[in-house]
Structure 1
Amino acid sequence: MTKHVVFADHSSELGGGQLGLLRYLAQPSRFKRSVVVLGEGPLAGRVRDLGIDVRVMPGVSTYADKVRSAGHLQSTIRSMAPDVVVANSLPVANILGLRSGQDYIRIAYLREDLSVPSLPGRLKRLAMFKHTLAGFDGFLANSSYTASTLPRGLQGRPTEVAHPVSGTGRATCREFPTGEFTIASLSRLDHSKGVHVLLDAVEHLVSNGLNVRALIAGGSAHADPRYADDLHRLADERSLPVDFLGHVDNVQEVLERSHVLALCTLRPEAFGQVMVQAMASGRPVIATAMGGPVEVLGPSRAGLLVPPGDSRALARAIRGLHDDREGLSATARLGIAEALRFTDDVTSARLDEGISRIAEAIEAGNTGG
């Protein structure tokens, strides 16, 4: 019998998790799929356009709203008669975790690591682990690294890795642009993303006579806007060859203007889907040697890994690719081959497989099998 899987999300705005869900829903599936979302918006509308049932509940903004909405959310989901419910984000997992429910299998999709640097507040961690996530039967994780950050008490529950559905299609090697050697940054302008490290590296390179330019794409949503101001000031004071592009919807255009992508995060990136997008576009990646990038780039040699916060190591890596154009092209070809593991058809099928395996393990445990 075909399982009915309901995906729940806390927002109808199109962030990374919501876009990944839409890409997944656009692919064929072994399941009957439905969506419940808090708040009307682009996600709900585009799910309807796909011909998939979507239930929209009032949005929430405060903890009191979450508490009040928990019972209504539970009732709405039960009325949909699912076999499995997947919480597509930690915020909606927080709401689902406020009420118990044994009518269906509950799975939390972990898109962020659960380490102390990411969740520094002790009370927040206790609430997350003892109440929110403890109410789930199993977990999907966007990388093996993310799965490894589950607390010990939850690591015995069925867990599967399902890499993000990142909008990656079949890749082809694109020509590198002519002119100055260009480094792209595609991330939110937040201190943890380490964009200032790239600016320091550009300064090192320029002072040593290299003709380079940085393209900084990303906005300050959900970040301290003072950091973006500091980056602009730093670039102006040092007369750095940097273009600030703001938020961009089409990252492909930025990648096609670039020779390499730099991912300079100061904390472990749970996965880093911009890496895969760059690799699929034939652009080598230089990333911080932590978390998801190690998992993707380490075995494949489809990019270079540098220590976190080390602008001189980053500058050396950029210089190496600048000076060795054959090596640049060879790394690009390795990236294209590696990106085939992360195309939308592959990652969507793996998401289905992960849900099936978790459900089968739970059902076998419930029947004593």
Structure 2
Amino acid sequence: MTKALFITHTAAPSGAELATLRLAIALRDNGSGDTGRRVDVSVACAQGGPVVDRMREAGLETIILPNTFDSRAVTVRSRSLRRLILGFFGLAKIGWSAGATARATGATVLVAESTKALVIGAVAARRAGIPLVWQVHDRISAEYFGGLLASVVRGLGWVFSRGYIANSRSTMSTLFAWHRATLVAYPGVEPSRLPDHVSQRRPSETVVVAVGRLTPWKGQDVFLRALADTTVRPQCVYLVGGTFFGEEAFRESLERLGHELDLPVIFTGHVDHPDAYMRHADILVHCSVIPEPFGQVVVEGMNAGCAVIASGPGGPTEIVESGINGLLVDGGDQEQLTAALNTLIGDRELRRRLSAAGRRRATYFDIAESARDIASFLDTVSATPERKRAAHG
């Protein structure tokens, strides 16, 4: 049986960490079916926080590693070489502890859930003598890391990882995968069992929602300016999301912008279960200004029954067929976003058609299917020569 120890550097409830939570639960439950492979899952986190609490509530074995770590102290956009070097050695120190944890839990494979977790996992895997898989939630590209650091991260991944699990083909294309096992596994959702979304209101009563961390690259400022130029303004706009990594000033700027543009916008802050807002809305807008690695909220919005507008390039182009189950715009293009909003706000029947097609499309991203693929992949990567001979003989 495969024993996987997932490593996370933060317990903030952001997209990658919530995806890890859903996957860990699905992997644990995966072996109940006739075709499921049993994976025993534990999670080691470099710090405590909300996601650790939710993992423990779900009954997952979750260990906080003993060395103190502040995820805000090491950022990929830091301009201080000294800070990056000190951060690297701090992560390596945590990795030594993670290696002991891997031994204690009997892990047969480590799964690093972020770039920082990759550094932790590289040390831990060497100490424990087991393979490391890097589950990549971010595009390893210049837009996110800068050109030099992106190359360094790609190199680290290739040297220390036995294989990659990428959250989209777009993300996989940014990795150096020569002679490495690879799997594209989309972050899954649980398909909705509720009746079809029926809220599609008249244009003047439309409710629009954008869900995601409030940070400049998510483009909420472009979204607000695009809304201000629509022919018919929606009745209500929800910006659902919090700030986790020193981005409070950006939220304040968004609040000022919403006031200046006289928009009916409500800032909810972080919400553990944003699906309630999505089920209430007619339109969900995803508005990242640089390529999104995947775009979980796009699938979640489809699953909830919203008519979806999403920005490309990147992962959303692997989800949305424009004009069939949603609309695609170029990231950061305010005029295109305004035009798409005008189209959907003004056409109630189109919203209904896209909503129904979007719900059907969301079933393609079932978390149970992703878990089955990942379980098989981890079983293959973690197999020792002795286990492989036993499996085939």
- Normalised to the residue count of structure 2, the TM-score between the two structures is 0.82
The aligned amino acid for 1:117 is E
Q: How far 1:46 moved relative to its partner?
A: 4.4
Kindly indicate whether the alpha-carbon contact (under 8 Å) linking 2:102 and 2:124 is maintained by their aligned counterparts in 1: no
Which is worse superposed, 243-252 or 283-292? 243-252
Structure 1 residues 138 and 77 mapped into 2: Cα distance closer, same or farther (>3 Å)? Answer: same
The aligned amino acid for 2:142 is V
Q: How far 1:85 moved relative to its partner?
A: 1.4
Kindly indicate whether the alpha-carbon contact (under 8 Å) linking 1:159 and 1:358 is maintained by their aligned counterparts in 2: no
The aligned amino acid for 1:23 is R
Partner of 2:33: none
Q: Hey, what's the Cα distance between the residues in 1 that align with 2:105 and 2:147?
A: 36
Q: Hey, what's the Cα distance between the residues in 1 that align with 2:322 and 2:200?
A: 28
Kindly indicate whether the alpha-carbon contact (under 8 Å) linking 2:15 and 2:296 is maintained by their aligned counterparts in 1: no
> Is the counterpart of residue 250 in structure 1 residue 276 in structure 2?
no
The aligned amino acid for 1:245 is T
Q: Hey, what's the Cα distance between the residues in 2 that align with 1:82 and 1:318?
A: 49
2:120 to 95, 104, 107: 95
Partner of 1:117: 143
Partner of 2:244: 221
Structure 1 residues 269 and 99 mapped into 2: Cα distance closer, same or farther (>3 Å)? Answer: same
Structure 1 residues 216 and 14 mapped into 2: Cα distance closer, same or farther (>3 Å)? Answer: closer
Q: Hey, what's the Cα distance between the residues in 2 that align with 1:132 and 1:42?
A: 28
Structure 1 residues 75 and 309 mapped into 2: Cα distance closer, same or farther (>3 Å)? Answer: same
Partner of 1:22: 21
> Is the counterpart of residue 11 in structure 1 residue 10 in structure 2?
yes
Which is worse superposed, 340-349 or 51-60? 51-60
The answer for unaligned runs of 5 or more in structure 1 is none
Q: Hey, what's the Cα distance between the residues in 2 that align with 1:51 and 1:238?
A: 46
Q: How far 1:189 moved relative to its partner?
A: 1.6
Map residues 30-45 of structure 1 onto 2, 5 A cutoff.
30-45=38-53
Q: How far 1:340 moved relative to its partner?
A: 0.6
The aligned amino acid for 1:250 is H
The aligned amino acid for 1:76 is T
Partner of 2:81: none
Partner of 1:233: 256
Kindly indicate whether the alpha-carbon contact (under 8 Å) linking 1:202 and 1:213 is maintained by their aligned counterparts in 2: no
Map residues 305-320 of structure 1 onto 2, 5 A cutoff.
305-320=328-343
Partner of 1:188: 213
Q: How far 1:18 moved relative to its partner?
A: 3.0
Kindly indicate whether the alpha-carbon contact (under 8 Å) linking 1:97 and 1:133 is maintained by their aligned counterparts in 2: no
2:93 to 68, 82, 86: 68
Q: How far 1:256 moved relative to its partner?
A: 2.4
Q: Hey, what's the Cα distance between the residues in 1 that align with 2:371 and 2:257?
A: 42
Q: Secondary structure at the match of 1:118?
A: helix
Q: How far 1:87 moved relative to its partner?
A: 1.2
> Is the counterpart of residue 304 in structure 1 residue 327 in structure 2?
yes
Q: How far 1:359 moved relative to its partner?
A: 4.6
Structure 1 residues 323 and 357 mapped into 2: Cα distance closer, same or farther (>3 Å)? Answer: farther
Partner of 2:198: 175
Partner of 1:85: 110
Structure 1 residues 171 and 137 mapped into 2: Cα distance closer, same or farther (>3 Å)? Answer: farther
The aligned amino acid for 2:211 is L
Q: Hey, what's the Cα distance between the residues in 2 that align with 1:209 and 1:125?
A: 43
Q: Hey, what's the Cα distance between the residues in 2 that align with 1:332 and 1:44?
A: 34
Q: Hey, what's the Cα distance between the residues in 2 that align with 1:305 and 1:79?
A: 48
1:148 to 157, 163, 173: 173
1:260 to 272, 278, 283: 283
Q: How far 1:7 moved relative to its partner?
A: 1.6
Q: Hey, what's the Cα distance between the residues in 1 that align with 2:112 and 2:54?
A: 19
Structure 1 residues 4 and 209 mapped into 2: Cα distance closer, same or farther (>3 Å)? Answer: closer
Identity, % of aligned positions: 26
Q: Hey, what's the Cα distance between the residues in 1 that align with 2:222 and 2:52?
A: 38
Kindly indicate whether the alpha-carbon contact (under 8 Å) linking 1:85 and 1:107 is maintained by their aligned counterparts in 2: yes
Q: How far 1:52 moved relative to its partner?
A: 4.2
Which is worse superposed, 254-263 or 238-247? 238-247
The answer for unaligned runs of 5 or more in structure 2 is 31-37, 74-86
Partner of 1:106: 132
1:87-125 deviation digits (Å, cap 9, x = unpaired): 122221112224662722210100111011111162x33
The aligned amino acid for 2:364 is R
